[in-house]
Amino acid sequence: MNIFSWQRIAALGLLAVLVVAAVGCGEAASDEPFRIGVMESVTGPGETYGTVAVQSKEMAVAEINAAGGINGRMLELVVEDSKCNAQDAITAYTKLTDVDGVKIILGTSCSGAMLGAAPLAERDGVIMFSGLATNPDIAEAGDYIFRTSLSDATVGVDTGNVLWADGIRRLATISESTDYAEGVRRTTAEHFQSLGGEIVAEERYASDTTDFRTQLEKLLGANPDALHIAAQSEFTGGTIIKQVRELGYDGPIYADVVPIGTTALEIAGDAATGVKAITPDLDPANAKAQEVLANFKDRYDYVTLPWFLGSAYDNVYIAAECLKKTGDDQDADGFRDCMYEITWSGTIGDDYSFDEKGEVVGLSNAVLEVLPTAERTEENGGYKVLGPAPSG
Applying CB under 8 A, the residues found at the interface with another protein are 1-2, 5, 8-9, 12-13, 15-17, 19-20, 38, 41-45, 47, 50-51, 54-55, 58, 77, 79-81, 83-87, 90-92, 94-95, 97-99, 112, 115-116, 119, 135-137, 140, 177-183, 186, 204, 206
Beta bridge partners of 80: 39
> How far, in Å, are 67, 95, 98, 146, 198 from residue 154 at the CA level?
36, 33, 35, 16, 20
Separation CA 112–CA 89 (nearest Å)? 9
CB of 92 to another protein, least distance (A): 8
Q: Which residue, 168 or 181, has its beta carbon nearer to another protein? A: 181
CB of 242 to another protein, least distance (A): 25
DSSP class of residue 150 equals P
Please say whether the beta carbons of 206 and 151 come within 8 A: no
21-41 residues labelled b (16+ CB within 10 A) or e (exposed): eeeeeeeeeeeeebbbbbbbb
Separation CA 15–CA 237 (nearest Å)? 57
Please say whether the beta carbons of 347 and 330 come within 8 A: no
Please say whether the beta carbons of 114 and 138 come within 8 A: yes
CB of 26 to another protein, least distance (A): 13
Q: Which residue, 215 or 326, has its beta carbon nearer to another protein? A: 215
Q: Which residue, 209 or 262, has its beta carbon nearer to another protein? A: 209
Q: 209: which residues sit within 8 A by CB, 6+ positions away?
A: 236
Please say whether the beta carbons of 280 and 347 come within 8 A: no
Please name the amino acid found at residue 39.
M
CB of 113 to another protein, least distance (A): 9
CB of 288 to another protein, least distance (A): 23
Q: Which residue, 313 or 344, has its beta carbon nearer to another protein? A: 313
Q: Which residue, 177 or 223, has its beta carbon nearer to another protein? A: 177
CB of 56 to another protein, least distance (A): 11
CB of 372 to another protein, least distance (A): 34
CB of 81 to another protein, least distance (A): 4
Q: Which residue, 258 or 366, has its beta carbon nearer to another protein? A: 258
Q: Which residue, 119 or 388, has its beta carbon nearer to another protein? A: 119
Q: Which residue, 193 or 345, has its beta carbon nearer to another protein? A: 193
145-175 residues labelled b (16+ CB within 10 A) or e (exposed): bbbbbbbbbbbbbbbbbbbbeeebeebbbbb
Q: Which residue, 83 or 336, has its beta carbon nearer to another protein? A: 83
Please say whether the beta carbons of 104 and 80 come within 8 A: no
CB of 304 to another protein, least distance (A): 14
**In 120-183, where do the E strands start and end?**
127-130, 145-147, 170-176
> How far, in Å, are 16, 18, 83, 125 from residue 24 at the CA level?
12, 10, 30, 22
Please name the amino acid found at residue 243.
Q
